[in-house]
Amino acid sequence: MYTPTPRNVKSTKSRQDTINQGDEGAGKKPMSKTQSHFLVPSEKLDKVTRRVIAPYAQIERKGIKEEEDKAGRYLDMNRFNVFLEDTVDLESLLYETAMVLKTVTDSSGVFVYIVDKLKNEIVLMHPETNNPERHQINLPIEEGKTAAAHVASTKEFLLLEDVQRDRRFSDGLRWIDAKVALCMPVVKPDGDCYAVLELYRTYAKAYDDNVVYTVVSVACWAGAAVHQAQARVTLSKTAHLNSELRALLQNYFCDRASIDTMLTDMLTVVKSFIGALRSSFYIIDKEHIGQQIQADMWDDGWSNEKTTMPKKKLKVNLSLEQNPAGYVARNGETLNVRDAYRDPRFNKEIDATTGTVVRSCLVSPITDKTGVIGVVQLTNKTSAQPFDKEDELIFSVFVSYCSLIVHFYTMQQKKIYNENLNRVYSELMSLHLKPCKHDMEELMENSGVVLPPNTFRSFDYHISEGSSNREDMAGLVCHMFTETFATRNFEKAQLGDFVLSVLGCYRDNPYHNAEHAFCFTHTMYLILSNNTGYFDFIETVGLMLSGLCHDLDHPGYNNNFLTLCKHPLASMYRTSMLEYHHYFLAKKMIEDKNILRKLPTIDQERIMEEIKYDILCTDLAVYFQIRAQLTPLLADHHFEWTDNSHRKMLKGILMTTSDLSGVCKPFGVSKAIAESVYEEFYAQGDRERAMGYTPLSMMDRRRAINQPAEQIQFLSVVVLPCLLMLQSVFPNTSPLTDNCRKTQEAWHEEIEIRGQKLWRQEDSLPNSQKNLLKEENRSENDINKPIE
């Protein structure tokens, strides 16, 4: 806070010392320094201070009965905060303070000037005039002419001991023939000069140091009080504005109001707070091609007591307009144009975009990281005055809300655009998902099914062996669905169209292809058909459809690789990225082909929920979670068919079993399947190495020699535990477990044939440590021997 220092004042005493001196003169003890200086006994206030505070006490007591006997009463200085809580006339209050100072300082009179920063003038107050604006007297703020204007410019007080002989100011005090004068600026803590107090004497007696000190103290206090009062008013307006705008934003963000209604209401609110006549809102069109700045403009309509026209939305070119909004859009600067007609940057004609005569305006850009995304403009105040700092502060609050609106509006427009784009792509994809006409005709020639071979109901069956061929897959799948659900639930033509379309959506990968989907579905079909009655119709349909669609559009890479290469699917889903993608495509295929149209809507919704759960269970990470929960239930014989959570876990095990059933075929088939799996793994490993990463051993083609050992470990750790859990519930699935063990033995034989051996701990140790390890093992064996 700026505090003027009196000239020629050698020493000043604090208010505390003045009070204590008064006490000592009266034979009283000095007031303790620990006593609150906000609660001072009235009898301890010195005469000068009591006279200065009198106007404030008088205003506070206005409308209340006359104060009773003051003896023994305390004057609580905190009560002066009342003036900061109510609306007060600061200029009138300052004038009354000046009149008190006039009496205290034995002055002949006092003039009070209010500083008008916008016009760079000081205005002489006339409180006794009924129409002060009509009799207003203004002086330009400049140095060297009048004392008051000089003080307003320098913000330092002046002590004129001989006004008539002081040649610094040619006009003197201007209003009266004074001998001595004291001009004191009322400076706020932010450094702005709010007013100038001009005390004068018509007789030749200079103001002494005590008088100067008193006036300086009161002026400093008045500056702080004015600053606090103005800040309180601004904060009150800002808080009210925040409350109004938040209520409007809530309606908009909750889709209870359109952008047109939102902007209309918000601009109406800010206009009423600031007192502007017109308002305009521009949202820059970032999608516009070219160098010109195109924008959507919302402008005021015309209204009176009888008629109201709403705001109008127009398309304007801000690049060509020589108006404040165009300037802000191009330069990104906030503007407070006090007089547009004197500003060479803008046209002197009527604003072509708004049709308004612009005298003054307040314009601000709305920006984000890409630059200017909008512009908001207020035009002409109702008071015909330019916009001031308080208006700018309130306007900045409004602009912050505008940023949210424009950002949300832009996101909403992008959302609408992408939704429509997705519809276009969806229609295009549906067009290309239709099966080949010849395949459909050939399938329907056999009544939509293909009769299976004799070995079809065996877990050993695979589409690559026997009399069947890959062209029969669609007919065999239709046969499995027809046998499971009968034709009353699925029409043959519709089922054939669906199956052919689904098989066509599998990529030509070495392993994750249509052949794998058929193998999965076949294993699921055998388990369900051999154990009827355990799952209801909804669960059975969900499991069969999940089996057929569980790997739709598989890219041949795992979830870890998608995360590593920052694939879009990794951004769309947190976990199980591929599984969510498979479910999305399965849902689209089922809805597009309307394969469930014969079922009630509620059954269709339940089936889709089942399919989502079942497909997500094909993620091995999910399988390990289920296994950890289901294993103790089966071991302790606590599994209950009536418990839905138990049934869900068992369905997850069913999905994993069917997914891994390729390794449960005869070794010739399972070995070929393993080789196709490694072909995909090595392709991923090659890409990881090219990206600078070291692939896992199973994905490193340089370590292909480890395939048998890796297969044995995979069967032991992943596959066999899953098969054993399923066998404990459905004993007739034991052929899967038997084949898995046979495959495991065959891989051991493969290792022996290749002349390899499994890795042992001692193989990686030097000879000295090998001997030590043997001794440790011998000691452990001795410890583990039973005691006889």
513 annotated as ligand-binding: yes
Q: What is the DSSP letter of 758?
A: -
Measure CA of the first residue to CA of the last residue in the chain; give whole Å.
97
Q: Which amino acid is at 743?
A: T
- As a three-state string, the secondary structure of 336-369 is EECCHHHCCCCCCCCCCCCCCCCCCEEEEEEEEC
Give the separation between CA 3 and CA 375, rounded to whole angstroms.
41
Give the separation between CA 679 and CA 687, rounded to whole angstroms.
13
441 annotated as ligand-binding: no
Specify whether the CB–CB gap between 44 and 31 falls below 8 A: yes
Q: Radius of gyration over alpha carbons of the chain, in Å?
A: 45
CB burial string 377-398: b at 16+ within 10 A, e below: bbbbbeeebbbbeebeebbebb
DSSP 545-573: HHHHHTTTT--SS-HHHHHHTT-HHHHH-
Specify whether the CB–CB gap between 384 and 359 falls below 8 A: yes
171 annotated as ligand-binding: no
512, 522, 554, 646: which one is catalytic? 512
412 annotated as ligand-binding: no
Q: Which two tokens stand for residue 526?
A: 């055998």
Q: Which two tokens stand for residue 298?
A: 């919302």
Query: Is 512 annotated as catalytic?
Result: yes
The backbone torsions φ and ψ at residue 294, rounded to the nearest 5 degrees and listed phi first, read -95, 145
Give the separation between CA 664 and CA 264, rounded to whole angstroms.
69
Q: Which two tokens stand for residue 593?
A: 């082909």
Q: Which two tokens stand for residue 195?
A: 């007013």
Contacts of 551 (CB under 8 A, 6+ apart): 506, 512, 516, 517, 520, 582, 618
Q: Which two tokens stand for residue 98?
A: 């000046």
Specify whether the CB–CB gap between 383 and 344 falls below 8 A: no
CB atoms within 10 A of CB 102: 16
126 annotated as ligand-binding: no
550 annotated as ligand-binding: yes
516 annotated as ligand-binding: yes
DSSP 287-315: T--SSS-EEEEEE---B-SS-B---EEEE
Specify whether the CB–CB gap between 530 and 518 falls below 8 A: no
Task: Please enumerate, by residue number, every residue annotated as part of a binding site for Zn(2+).
Answer: 516, 550-551, 659
Task: Please enumerate, by residue number, every residue annotated as part of a binding site for AMP.
Answer: 512-516, 551, 659, 711
Catalytic residues: 512
Task: Please enumerate, by residue number, every residue annotated as part of a binding site.
Answer: 512-516, 550-551, 659, 711
